[in-house]
Structure 1
Amino acid sequence: MRTPLTATAAALATAAALLTAFTGPTASAATPATGQITGVGGKCVDVAASGTANGTAVQLYDCNGTAAQQWTVGTDGTLRALGKCLDVTGQGTANGTRLQLWDCNGSGAQQWTAESDGHLKNPQSGRYLDVPGGSTANGTRLQIYDRNTNPWQTWRLPDGGTTPPPGSCTPRLGSGEYDTPVGFGGKTYQVRVHVPQRAAGARLPLVLDLHGSQSTGPGQLTYSNLAPTADAKGFVVAAPTGVVPSGSGYIWNVPYVTPSGTRDDVGFLRQVIDTLTGSACLDPARIYATGYSGGGRMTSALGCLLSDRIAAIAPVAGLRAGRPDPADGSRPDPASCAPSRAVPVIAFHGRQDGTNPYDGGGDGTAWRYSVPVAQQRWAALNGCTAGPAVTQVATHVQRGVYSGCRGGADVELYTVSDGGHTWPDSPYDNGNGKVTHEISANALMWDFFQRHPLA
């Protein structure tokens, strides 16, 4: 599919809609997209020496933010910098014709059409913006050439762009909330997903949202209320369901805790990620996990055992760092949590939690050691050198942070003095104590996730 920048007077009437498609919903026809055009090697389309004389070479160069690299996507089909237009020299149409800067004159040599796979076409010649031989050397003069699949014909226009970046894809799953199948171990499981609206070709982050014991994926998606945050911030939520029946729902097979002989849930959740990465066009560097209660314990286990795929975790009322040590339940068993990299952690817990007590105790196989001990263990695993620095962020909420960690993998804990076994700012009372509305777990965890993509 091709999306023209616009080339005729009739097309000017649709300029606002086109600019919205190019630059996102915040753009307007009154403010055309302006910024860098990036290509092969992450380098920029550049006006040589910031020259403004007609015939000044247009080249590839290190991105540097100068005016020579600030291009405006015109509503008339042009690409403009320094008050002039990107132009095919001499109105040429042959392969290898070089590009230059020239007074804007409305000719076909200055018309450009953005295609959905990242190509930029000059309709007059039928050829495309191209880097000779794919050279990434500074000063490489740009040209037009027959369309091909080489990466040096893929471009990204300003402000997120009119064209998808390299590695973009077309999702099979559209926006909305529904169940989608995931095959694992010879069986097919239905996983509840919520997919926001997206720009064409964009790869989105994923947040796994894991339910508490005796619940389900759809029930957790409702309780956490993550869908509105996903719509506002632009990420996919997947809320799968455990397989071990318990009460009116299911529990997760948390490694070293749940009796063996059931589904490998670490493997299953890896498959959920793999499946949705293709069908929902996910960004592999921005896969995150959160969960409540038993789902928080499972989220913690993913940090321990799936750190190659999970960029950061956010357990709610369930932070662990491995099972309780069989020899001393007041501390974690070091052998049960050995991530392959430092994992950023943000957690939330109520001091009045009677199910997973903040100070420890409770279930001897799944809980025992305290939440601060779990945080301290993650800080040790991440090689943190400072903390915990504690600040009062609201009347009943303290934030404790271990910092100076490897790879910036800080470990944060929000402690709610009057909070129960609940999800901060959930609109639902689950009967397990007070729900604080002094902080929003969803807003805080998403801000944390954004700062911690997978390296």
Structure 2
Amino acid sequence: MRLMLAYAATLFMASSLEGHACSITTPCIVDDRNYYVALPKPANLPAPAIVYIHGWGGNGQAALRNKDMTTMFLERGFAVIAPDGVPREGRSGRSWGFHPQSGRQLDEIDFLRSVKEDAIARFNLDSTRMILAGFSIGGSMTAYTACLAPMSFAGYAPLGGNFWRPHPTQCEGAVHMLHTHGWSDGTVPLEGRVVNGVPMDDPSAFAQGDIFHAMSIWRATNNCTQMKADKFSMKEPFWRRSWTHCDAGSSLELAIYPGGHSIPKTWPSLVVDWFEAIISE
């Protein structure tokens, strides 16, 4: 009940702030595309923010209807910004040009950066405390943004998705990254899978990447001193491995939870705790 009341109050506040024509229900328009926003209490402005990228077939407005996620971020003082992907041809819902073969990666990254700058200007947000996060292929879009344009956001938090095959051979610069994944995820397994039904060695295979290999790419990108993690935590519900002996201004963490392809209720708290810890160092 408390969560529902808090969420209802948030919806009213986000949709009634004077001078803001867009909200959790009315889109902000940038580059002929939409994003939606839920804001914390005005007294806490300029606020940090999380730009959250929806998964396959979703949209920004629907993403903000995840009360567990949105309310928890708001209660921690974070604005939640949810952009729309592009329409899926011949199908409902939206997607992202995350894959290297899509030819749209840089356009998508430009859009996400435009969303960030527009939201900063409209809502008095803190440009130095903005996280890019996403679920499933939204997680993959998060990872490719971090790889190709690392300075775009202060931290990156993909959930249930990272690189696809062929994996990148290198990224443009070091980042703060927290990757979270379900131990029993069958939609995006930790090892990845082919999604178009052909053998892995077929040149036409459209295949998800290996999360552990992605971690090795990020270790190399961040110039971490060793393969083994520097810190371990087994506090439920997340088992965490952290690489901290890396280039200044970078860090890497892998968090595993006992579940499948889903957004854990406590994932927002994990992200905020992680981000607040790295920016306080």
Interval of TM-score (by shorter of Structure 1 and Structure 2): 0.7 to 0.9
Q: How far does the alpha carbon of each residue in 1:109-151 deviate from its partner, in whole angstroms, 9 at most, with x for none?
A: xxxxxxxxxxxxxxxxxxxxxxxxxxxxxxxxxxxxxxxxxxx
Question: Does residue 263 of structure 2 align to residue 404 of structure 1?
Answer: no
Distance 2:181 2:63 in 1: 17
Higher relative contact order (CA 8 A, sep 6+): 2
**Letter paired with 2:269:** A
- Which position in structure 2 is the counterpart of 1:249? 93
- Which position in structure 2 is the counterpart of 1:442? 268
Distance 1:366 1:452 in 2: 33
Query: Residues 283 and 324 from structure 1, CA distance in 2 versus in 1: closer, same or farther, beyond 3 angstroms?
Result: same
Partner-residue secondary structure (3-state), 1:415: strand
Question: Does residue 223 of structure 2 align to residue 383 of structure 1?
Answer: yes
Query: Residues 252 and 263 from structure 1, CA distance in 2 versus in 1: closer, same or farther, beyond 3 angstroms?
Result: same
Distance 1:395 1:280 in 2: 35
**Letter paired with 2:188:** N
**Letter paired with 1:406:** D
**Letter paired with 1:446:** V
- Which position in structure 1 is the counterpart of 2:169? 334
Q: How far does the alpha carbon of each residue in 1:356-405 deviate from its partner, in whole angstroms, 9 at most, with x for none?
A: 111233334351x3211111211110011143246452467421112211
Question: Does residue 56 of structure 2 align to residue 213 of structure 1?
Answer: yes
Query: Residues 205 and 175 from structure 1, CA distance in 2 versus in 1: closer, same or farther, beyond 3 angstroms?
Result: farther
Distance 1:173 1:366 in 2: 42
Partner-residue secondary structure (3-state), 2:117: helix
**Letter paired with 2:194:** G
Alpha-carbon deviation of 1:203?
A: 1.7
Distance 1:272 1:399 in 2: 31
1:365 aligns with one of 189, 206, 215 = 206
- Which position in structure 2 is the counterpart of 1:21? none
Contact 2:59 2:94 in 1 (8 A): yes
Query: Residues 220 and 324 from structure 1, CA distance in 2 versus in 1: closer, same or farther, beyond 3 angstroms?
Result: same
- Which position in structure 2 is the counterpart of 1:140? none
Question: Does residue 185 of structure 2 align to residue 350 of structure 1?
Answer: no
Structure 2 runs not aligned, ≥5 long: 1-16, 196-204
Alpha-carbon deviation of 1:262?
A: 9.6
Equivalenced residue count is: 254
- Which position in structure 2 is the counterpart of 1:222? 65
Alpha-carbon deviation of 1:171?
A: 8.8
Contact 1:302 1:310 in 2 (8 A): no
Contact 1:312 1:452 in 2 (8 A): no
Q: How far does the alpha carbon of each residue in 1:60-119 deviate from its partner, in whole angstroms, 9 at most, with x for none?
A: xxxxxxxxxxxxxxxxxxxxxxxxxxxxxxxxxxxxxxxxxxxxxxxxxxxxxxxxxxxx
Distance 2:117 2:104 in 1: 24
Distance 1:307 1:262 in 2: 14
- Which position in structure 2 is the counterpart of 1:277? 120
- Which position in structure 2 is the counterpart of 1:173? 20
Contact 1:217 1:241 in 2 (8 A): yes
Distance 1:234 1:181 in 2: 21
- Which position in structure 2 is the counterpart of 1:374? 214
Partner-residue secondary structure (3-state), 2:20: coil
Distance 1:452 1:251 in 2: 31
Contact 1:209 1:239 in 2 (8 A): yes
TM-score (norm 1): 0.51
Query: Residues 214 and 344 from structure 1, CA distance in 2 versus in 1: closer, same or farther, beyond 3 angstroms?
Result: same
Alpha-carbon deviation of 1:351?
A: 2.3
Q: How does 1:109-258 map to 2 (within 5 A)?
A: 172-173=19-20, 177-184=24-31, 187=32, 189-199=33-43, 202-223=45-66, 225-245=68-88, 247-258=91-102
Query: Residues 345 and 389 from structure 1, CA distance in 2 versus in 1: closer, same or farther, beyond 3 angstroms?
Result: same
Query: Residues 176 and 253 from structure 1, CA distance in 2 versus in 1: closer, same or farther, beyond 3 angstroms?
Result: closer
Contact 1:390 1:398 in 2 (8 A): no
Distance 2:135 2:160 in 1: 6
**Letter paired with 2:251:** D
Contact 1:350 1:422 in 2 (8 A): yes
Partner-residue secondary structure (3-state), 2:24: strand
Q: How far does the alpha carbon of each residue in 1:14-70 deviate from its partner, in whole angstroms, 9 at most, with x for none?
A: xxxxxxxxxxxxxxxxxxxxxxxxxxxxxxxxxxxxxxxxxxxxxxxxxxxxxxxxx
Structure with more of its chain in strand, by fraction: 1
Distance 2:116 2:42 in 1: 19
Contact 1:206 1:282 in 2 (8 A): yes
**Letter paired with 1:334:** T
Alpha-carbon deviation of 1:182?
A: 2.5
Alpha-carbon deviation of 1:292?
A: 0.5
Partner-residue secondary structure (3-state), 1:297: helix
Partner-residue secondary structure (3-state), 1:269: helix
TM-score (norm 2): 0.80
Distance 1:284 1:300 in 2: 20
Contact 1:230 1:236 in 2 (8 A): yes
**Letter paired with 1:377:** I
Distance 1:397 1:275 in 2: 34
Q: How does 1:260-299 map to 2 (within 5 A)?
A: 260=103, 264-299=107-142
Query: Residues 257 and 445 from structure 1, CA distance in 2 versus in 1: closer, same or farther, beyond 3 angstroms?
Result: farther
